[in-house]
Structure 1
Amino acid sequence: MRAYGEVLRVPGLARIILAQLIARFPAGMYSLGILMHIEHEHGSYTAAGLVLAAFSVGMAIAGPFVTRLMARFGTVAVLVTTTAVSVAALLSMATLSVPLWADVLAGAVAGAAMPPVTPTVRTLYPRMVPQRLLSPLFSFDAALQEIIWVFGPVLLTLLVSVMGTGPTLLVTIAIQAVGAAFFIVSPEVRRLRIPPTSRKLGRVLRKPPVLLSVVVSAMFIGGFSAVEAGVVATFGEGALEAGIVLAVSAFGSLIGGFALGSRGITPWSVAIRLTIVLIGMAIALPMTEVVGLSIALFIAGIGTAPALAAFSAIIAGTVKFADTPEAYAWIGTGQLLGAAVGSAVAGVCIDAIGGVGGVWVAVVMVAIAATIAAVFRRHQPDLRHGIGEPPETAPVELPR
C-alpha cells in the first residue's frame, strides 16, 4: 500500500484521477440507459438493440482515428470537439421523438465522438509519475474503474424508477459533460502535447506486444461479457441476485487491483493473472445459487483489474510516446469487439443449455486468452524494474 500512498502524493495526480473517473462514469450507464430509453420510445427491444449496437460500433471504429487527431489538432481541441458532438447526439436521442433510423444515426455519431478520456489519461500518466510508480498507478486506475461498473448501472436503475428514461439519460449526459469539462480544464491535460507520429494508422499493431495486448484483452473481455450474460440468464432478467453476483465480482477486482498492483510486470504476468480469472470461472460452472456464484466470480475478479493494468503497463513500456494514444485506442476497440462476440456466442449457448452456457463460453474465451499470453510471453516486456522513460514529447507550454 506504500506505493499507492506515493502515487496519490504526486502533485495534481489525485485531481486527474478524480476528473477522469467522473468523465468515464457514464460508460457504466449509457448501455443500459440507451437500451431502456429506446425501448420505451419505440416499444421494441430489437430497436433498442440496433441503436445500442450502432453506439458500440461507432466507438470501436472511431477510437483509433480520433486519438491520432490529438497530435494534429491538440489534446484539448479534440476533447472539447468530441464532447460537444457526442453530447449533442445524445441530447437529440433523449429529447426528440424521431424515426428509428435517426436514433440509430445519433447512436453511431455519439459512439464515434465519445471523448478519448481513457487513452488521454493513460498517455498522461507516464508524464506525471516516476517510472517505478507506473505499474501501481495503472493497477490503481484499473481497480477504480470497477466503481464505474458497480455503481453506474445501480444509479441509472434508481434514477429510471424515479424520473423515467428520458430525464435519466439527460442526467447521464450532464455527468459526462461536467466530468469532461473538469478533466479538460486540468492544467496537466492542457499542458499535454503529443508529437506527431510518422506511422500510418494501424502500423502500431505491427508491434508484437501491442497486437498481443489487443487480441488477449479482446478474448478476456469477451469472456466477462459472456459470464455476465450467463449470470443474468441463470437468475432471470432484472433479478436482484444477478446484480449481487456481478457486484461481488467487481469488488473482487477492486481488491485484486490493490493487492497485486505494486508487483512488477514480467512476461508471465498476464498469463498468471488470467489464470486466476479462469480458475474462478471454472469454479462457477456447476454453481446456480447466489453464494456459490458470488464466491467463484469473486475469485475471478481478483485477476481482472491486475490483468487490465498489465495491458496498460505493456503499452507504456514498449510504445513510443507519440503512438501510445492510438495503441490504447486499439485495445479499447478490441475489447468492444470482444464483448460483442462474447455476448453473441453466449446468447446462442444460453438458448441451447441455459445460463451455464454463458459460463462455458467465458471459460473457453479466457482459457484461450491465458494460453496465448503464455505461449507468446517472449513478446511481453520484463518491467520488474520499472517502465523505462518514455521518449521526449513536444515542447510543453501552458496556454495563457
Structure 2
Amino acid sequence: MASAVSSDTPPPVQRVGYRQLLRTPGAWTFLLPGFAARQPFAMLTISIVLLLRHTTGSYGVAGAVAAVTGVSMALFAPQSGKLADRHGQRAVLVPGVLLHAAAAALLTALALAHAPLWALIAAAVPTGASVPQVGPMVRARWAAALGDGGPGGSGPRPGRHPLLATAAAFESVTDEFTFVIGPVLATASSTAVHPASGLIAEAALTLVGGLLFAARRRTAPPPGPARADARGRHASALPVPGVRVLAVAFLGIGSVFGGMQVALTAFTQEQGQPGLNGVLYGVFAAGNMLAGVACGTIAWRTSPRRRLLTAYAALTLICSTLWAVSAPLPLGGLGLLAGLCIAPALITGYTLVEALVPAASRTEAFTWLTGSVALGQAAAVTAGGQMADGFGASAAFTVPLVGTALALLTVVSLRAHIAPRGTTTEIRQDQRTADPHPRRPVSR
C-alpha cells in the first residue's frame, strides 16, 4: 500500500522487483560468498559476550571487550572503504580476512586462558579493525553492475537505474537475514557445543566467505583515481552534510542491535532459559527481514526523508516499552515490532547515500554508515552490560530507548541536510528535472 504524496518528492515511478534484480549478470557470483563473509557483523558481538560472560562471570567485562571491538570496527571501516574505492576490493579483503581470523583466534585463546582485561582489549582492537566490510562492497558491486543510469535514462531520478532502490532493499533484507542466522548460530553453538565455538565459527565463515568473495573479480567495481577536494587532497564522503546526519542517526540503530543483544542475554539468564536468547533475537531480526522484503516491493510515494523520520519515531515508541516486559512471549512480540521499524530506516539511509555522494566515494560512504551502526552497537553493549550487572535486564532495555530517542532528535532537527540535493551538479540537475513544481519551496 502506497503512502500519500509528499510535497518534496517527484511523482512515483513504477519499479521492477526482486526477480529482475537477481537476473542481473554476475549477481549470484558475489551474493553467495558475500553472505557468508557478512557473518562477523551479526555474530561477533554476541559471540564475545557469551564467551567472556562464561570465562569472567561479568556482563560488564564482556560488554567492555565487545565494545572495544565495535569501536575499532567503526574507526577503521571508513578507511577500509576508502582503500577499496582507490585500490580495489580484492587488495583490501584478502589481507583483511587473514588478519581477522588470526586476531579472533588470539582473542579466543586469551579468553579461555583467563587473561587479564588489558590483554583481551589488546586482542579486541585488531579483531574489530579487520572485520571485512562486505556489505558496503556488495552495495558498490550492485551500483557498478546496474550503472548510474537506467535504460533510456528512466528511473526514480533521471540517470539512476530503477533497480538501484530495489537493490538497496535487497541488501537490507540480506543484512537482516544474517541477523536471523548469526545470533542463533552463535548462541546455539556457544551453549550446546562450547562457549568458544561461536567466535571460532565466526572467524571460519569470515575467512572462507571473504576469500571466495574476493576471488569474484569480474563483478568488482574498478578502482578509480582518488577524488580530490579544492586543495588537492583526497576528498572524503564525510564532509557531505547528509552523510554526517545519517551517520549519527545510524548510531541509534546500532544501539538497538547492541542493547538488545545484551539485554536479551541477561533477560533469558534471569528467566533460567539461556537457550531462548537466540530465538528471541532471531524473532527481532526476522522483523527486520520481513520489513525489508516489503520495502523492496512498494512503489513509495512519500519522500525518503519522511520515511526515515517515520521509521525512527516508530522505533523510539516501541523501544520505550521494552523495559516494562517481564515474560518471553510479549517481549518477542515487541522485538518483532522493533525489527519491523529498523529495516525501513536502514534501507532509506542507504538509498539517500546513493543520491548524496558521488560514485567515486560510495563505498567509503556506505562504510561510514555501517561503522556508525558498529559504534552504536559497541556503546550499547558497554552501557547495557553495566546496567545488567548493576540493575538487571529491565534496566538494560533502556539503552535502546536512549539511543533511538537521540537519533530521532538528530534526524528531526537536521532533516534539511538529508534531502537528496545539491552535493553535485548532476544531482542538482536531476532534482530540477524531476520536480514537477520547481518554483514551490521545498517543505521542511
TM range (shorter): 0.7 to 0.9
1:22 is aligned, of 31, 36, 52, to: 36
Q: Residue type of the partner of 2:168?
A: F
Alpha carbons of 1:116 and 1:11: their partners in 2 closer, same or farther (altered >3 Å)?
Answer: same
Instruction: Work out the CA distance in 2 between the residues paired with 1:45 and 1:267.
Output: 37
Q: Show the 5 A alignment for 1:8-157.
A: 8-37=22-51, 48-49=62-63, 51-94=65-108, 100=116, 101-129=118-146, 130=150, 131-157=161-187
Q: Show the 5 A alignment for 1:134-283.
A: 134-161=164-191, 163-166=193-196, 169-190=199-220, 192-199=222-229, 203-236=236-269, 239-261=274-296, 262-264=298-300, 265-283=303-321
Instruction: Work out the CA distance in 2 between the residues paired with 1:312 and 1:127.
Output: 15
Q: Residue type of the partner of 2:207?
A: A
Instruction: Work out the CA distance in 2 between the residues paired with 1:354 and 1:74.
Output: 47
Give the structure 1 partner of residue 8 of structure 2.
none
Give the structure 2 partner of residue 5 of structure 1.
19
Alpha carbons of 1:274 and 1:63: their partners in 2 closer, same or farther (altered >3 Å)?
Answer: same
Contact 1:135–1:263 under 8 Å retained in 2 = no
Q: Residue type of the partner of 2:274?
A: A
Contact 1:69–1:78 under 8 Å retained in 2 = yes
When structure 1 is superposed on structure 2, of 129-138 and 28-37 the one drifting more is: 28-37
Matched, 1:307 2:345: yes
Contact 2:97–2:210 under 8 Å retained in 1 = yes
Aligned length: 385
Alpha carbons of 1:53 and 1:227: their partners in 2 closer, same or farther (altered >3 Å)?
Answer: closer
Residue 203 of structure 1, CA deviation: 4.4
Residue 255 of structure 1, CA deviation: 1.1
Instruction: Work out the CA distance in 1 between the residues paired with 2:382 and 2:331.
Output: 22
Q: Show the 5 A alignment for 1:312-327.
A: 312-327=350-365
Instruction: Work out the CA distance in 2 between the residues paired with 1:40 and 1:227.
Output: 19
| TM norm structure 2 | 0.76
Q: What secondary structure, in the 3-state scheme, does the structure 1 residue paired with 2:304 have?
A: coil
Instruction: Work out the CA distance in 2 between the residues paired with 1:329 and 1:218.
Output: 13
Q: Residue type of the partner of 1:78?
A: V
Contact 1:350–1:358 under 8 Å retained in 2 = yes
Residue 270 of structure 1, CA deviation: 0.6
Q: Residue type of the partner of 1:139?
A: A
When structure 1 is superposed on structure 2, of 43-52 and 180-189 the one drifting more is: 43-52
Instruction: Work out the CA distance in 1 between the residues paired with 2:96 and 2:339.
Output: 32
Residue 38 of structure 1, CA deviation: 5.4
Give the structure 2 partner of residue 343 of structure 1.
381
Matched, 1:376 2:414: yes
Residue 313 of structure 1, CA deviation: 1.0
Alpha carbons of 1:357 and 1:254: their partners in 2 closer, same or farther (altered >3 Å)?
Answer: same
Residue 182 of structure 1, CA deviation: 1.8
Give the structure 2 partner of residue 396 of structure 1.
none
Q: Residue type of the partner of 1:216?
A: A
Instruction: Work out the CA distance in 2 between the residues paired with 1:286 and 1:44.
Output: 24
Contact 1:62–1:112 under 8 Å retained in 2 = yes
Q: Residue type of the partner of 1:123?
A: A
Instruction: Work out the CA distance in 2 between the residues paired with 1:165 and 1:124.
Output: 36
Instruction: Work out the CA distance in 1 between the residues paired with 2:256 and 2:197.
Output: 33
Structure 1 residue runs of 5 or longer lacking an equivalent are 390-400
Q: What secondary structure, in the 3-state scheme, does the structure 1 residue paired with 2:226 have?
A: coil
After superposition, what is the alpha-carbon deviation per residue over 1:85-128, rounded to whole angstroms, capped at 9, x for unaligned?
Answer: 22222334446787545554333122212222122222222112
When structure 1 is superposed on structure 2, of 232-241 and 119-128 the one drifting more is: 232-241
Contact 1:277–1:304 under 8 Å retained in 2 = yes
Residue 46 of structure 1, CA deviation: 6.6
Q: Residue type of the partner of 1:132?
A: P
Instruction: Work out the CA distance in 2 between the residues paired with 1:138 and 1:39.
Output: 36
* Identical positions, percent: 25
Instruction: Work out the CA distance in 1 between the residues paired with 2:199 and 2:391.
Output: 35
Q: What secondary structure, in the 3-state scheme, does the structure 2 residue paired with 1:239 have?
A: coil
When structure 1 is superposed on structure 2, of 49-58 and 6-15 the one drifting more is: 49-58
After superposition, what is the alpha-carbon deviation per residue over 1:241-277, rounded to whole angstroms, capped at 9, x for unaligned?
Answer: 4443322221111111111234445221111122232
Give the structure 2 partner of residue 298 of structure 1.
336
When structure 1 is superposed on structure 2, of 275-284 and 304-313 the one drifting more is: 275-284
